Amino acid sequence: MHILVVGGGGREHAIIRCLKKNPQVQTVYALPGNGGIAADAQCVPIAATDIDGIAAFAKSHSVDYAVVAPDDPLVLGCVDVLEKLGIPCFGPRANAAIIEGSKVFAKNLMKKYGIPTAAYEVFTELDKALAYLDTAPVPTVIKADGLALGKGVIIAQTREEAKAAVRDMMEGHVFGKSGDQVVIEEFLTGPEVSVLAFTDGKTLKPMVSSMDHKRIGDNDTGLNTGGMGTVAPNPYYTEEIAKVCMETIFLPTIRAMNAEGRTFKGCLYFGLMLTPAGPKVIEYNCRFGDPETQVVLPLLESDLLTVMQAVSSGTLEQTEVKFATKHACCVILASQGYPAGYQKGCEITMTEEAAAHTYVAGARLENGKLLTSGGRVTGTTAVADSLEEAIREAYRLSDGVRFENAYRRSDIGRRALQANR
C-alpha cells in the first residue's frame, strides 16, 4: 500500500513509524515531512496547507490511504477534497474540524448540549468586551476564536492585562482574522489531562491518557509552548474519572456533532481540566496532539493502520484498540530562545540508540547533514514498566541527541511522579 501523511513534525514522525510496523505498507509519502522524517518516508516539498498540491500528488501517485495530521489542512477541507478523489482518509471533514477551528463554535456546542466547560461570553465588538472586563472576575482567560498556532490563549492576572489582550486581538489583529471574535472565560484550576480518542462517529475508543508540559521553564514557568514533553498514562486520570468523562464529555460530544450534521471521524483530542467540580473541557482539537502522540503511539499494541481504516469505514466497534500497560515519557529538545527568537542551521547528531527513539520535528537535510530548522527540534521517547524508569531512560536517551544551544526542561514527568505518592 502507498500511504500519504500530510504534515511535518514530531507527531507525523511518530505516526509514520507506527504505520510502518504494518508489513502491507510499502511506501509512505510525507508532505512535506522534514529532514529527520526523510529517514523513514519519502518527503515531498508540498506544504500541508497546499490542498490542491496535495490532491494532485495523491492522484498521480496512486495513494491508497491518506492521513491528514495537522489542524490547518483539516480545517481547510483537505479530507473533503481527497475523499472526492476516492482516496480513503483518516481525519475529520472541514465541517467537523470546526470543533478546533472555531472556539466560539466549540463553546456554543458545549453550552447547547450540556457538556461541562468553563463559563464564557463571546464578543465581536471591542467596546462590549472591554466593558465586560470592567467587572469580570480575575484571573480571566481570553481566547481568539480561530487557529492561532497555539498562541491564542491568554491567562490574564489583572483586568488591565485582560483588556490589553483583547485590544491586541480585536484592534491590533495579532492573530489576523482569528481574533475577530474573542471568548472570555472563567479561569479553572486543577490537573490537566489530554485524552486522544479514535472515533468513527458512532463508536469512540479513547487512547491511553497523557500529560503535556506546555510551559518553557521547569516547574511550569515562563511562556507557553507547543509542548516540551509528555508522559503517558496521566496518573491523575483514574478509571473512575475516565468513566465520568466518557459519560459526560466524550459520548455527548460525538452525539452533539452528529445532531449538528457534523459527524466527526478521526482522532478527537479532549484537553481536560480535573476541577473540584468535576472534569471540564478546556479545548477540543480535531487531530492527534503533539507531543502527546509521541508517548501515546509507542504504547499502542494494535496495528495503527487497521484502526485508522476502521475509523474511515465506520467499523471501529468491531476493531480492537489495545494499549500496553506500560509507561512512556517524551523529552523535547528545543532551540535555546524558543518560543521567542532562536538560531537555526545548527548540525544535529544522534547516537544510533538515540535515533531509534527520537522523532524529529524541526530539522532539514543539507548535503547529508541534519540541521535545526525550528523551535522544537526533537522528541525522544522511552517506554518502561514504571514511570520513574521511563523518565530516567528518556533523559538518558535524549543525552544522545546533540546540537548547539539545545534546551530541554529537566522536570518532565516530575509532577506525574508526585501524583502517585
Residues that bind ligand AMP (CB under 6 A): 118, 141, 150, 153, 155, 185-188, 192, 214, 224, 271, 282-283
Which one, 144 or 350, has the nearer CB to ligand AMP? 144
Binding partner of residue 400 among ligand GLY, ligand AMP, none, CB cut-off 5 to 8 Å per kind = none
Which one, 140 or 285, has the nearer CB to ligand GLY? 285
What whole-number distance in Å separates Cα of residue 311 and Cα of residue 149? 27
Minimum Å gap between C-beta 136 and ligand GLY is: 26
Contact 48, 77 (CB under 8 A): no
Which one, 25 or 148, has the nearer CB to ligand AMP? 148
- Going from the C-alpha of 278 to that of each of 86, 99, 285, the distances in angstroms are 43, 22, 20
Q: What is the largest CA-CA distance in the chain?
A: 61
Binding partner of residue 282 among ligand AMP, ligand GLY, none, CB cut-off 5 to 8 Å per kind = ligand AMP
Q: Phi and psi for 332 in degrees, rounded to 5? A: -90, 135
Minimum Å gap between C-beta 128 and ligand AMP is: 20
Q: Which three cell numbers stand for residue 347?
A: 548540525
* Helix, strand, coil share (%) of the chain residues, nearest 5: 35, 30, 40
Binding partner of residue 292 among ligand AMP, ligand GLY, none, CB cut-off 5 to 8 Å per kind = ligand GLY
Contact 193, 208 (CB under 8 A): no
Which one, 211 or 331, has the nearer CB to ligand AMP? 211
Minimum Å gap between C-beta 190 and ligand AMP is: 9
The residue assigned the cell 515531498 is 44
Binding partner of residue 192 among ligand AMP, ligand GLY, none, CB cut-off 5 to 8 Å per kind = ligand AMP
Which helix (H) or strand (E) is 184 found in, with range?
Answer: strand 182-186
Task: Judge if the upstream peptide bond of residue 23 is cis by omega within 30 degrees of 0.
Answer: no
Residues that bind ligand GLY (CB under 6 A): 150, 212, 227, 285, 289-290, 292
Binding partner of residue 55 among ligand AMP, ligand GLY, none, CB cut-off 5 to 8 Å per kind = none
Minimum Å gap between C-beta 271 and ligand AMP is: 6
Minimum Å gap between C-beta 204 and ligand AMP is: 21
The residue assigned the cell 477540543 is 284
Which one, 58 or 70, has the nearer CB to ligand GLY? 70
3-state secondary structure 261-293: CCCCCEEEEEEEEEECCEEEEEEEECCCCCCCH
Minimum Å gap between C-beta 297 and ligand GLY is: 14
Which one, 91 or 289, has the nearer CB to ligand GLY? 289
Q: Which residue is nearest to ligand GLY (CB)?
A: 289
Contact 215, 153 (CB under 8 A): no
Which one, 224 or 351, has the nearer CB to ligand AMP? 224
User: Which ranges constitute the DSSP H helices of 102-188?
Assistant: 103-112, 126-133, 159-170
Minimum Å gap between C-beta 75 and ligand AMP is: 15
Binding partner of residue 290 among ligand AMP, ligand GLY, none, CB cut-off 5 to 8 Å per kind = ligand GLY
Cα torsion 334, 9, 253, 416: sign = negative
Contact 84, 218 (CB under 8 A): no
3-class SS of residue 172: coil
Minimum Å gap between C-beta 147 and ligand GLY is: 11
Which one, 32 or 229, has the nearer CB to ligand GLY? 229
Minimum Å gap between C-beta 144 and ligand AMP is: 10
Of the candidates 22, 14, 229, 21, the residue with the CA atom closest to the CA atom of residue 30: 14
Which one, 139 or 150, has the nearer CB to ligand GLY? 150
Q: Which three cell numbers stand for residue 403?
A: 546540537
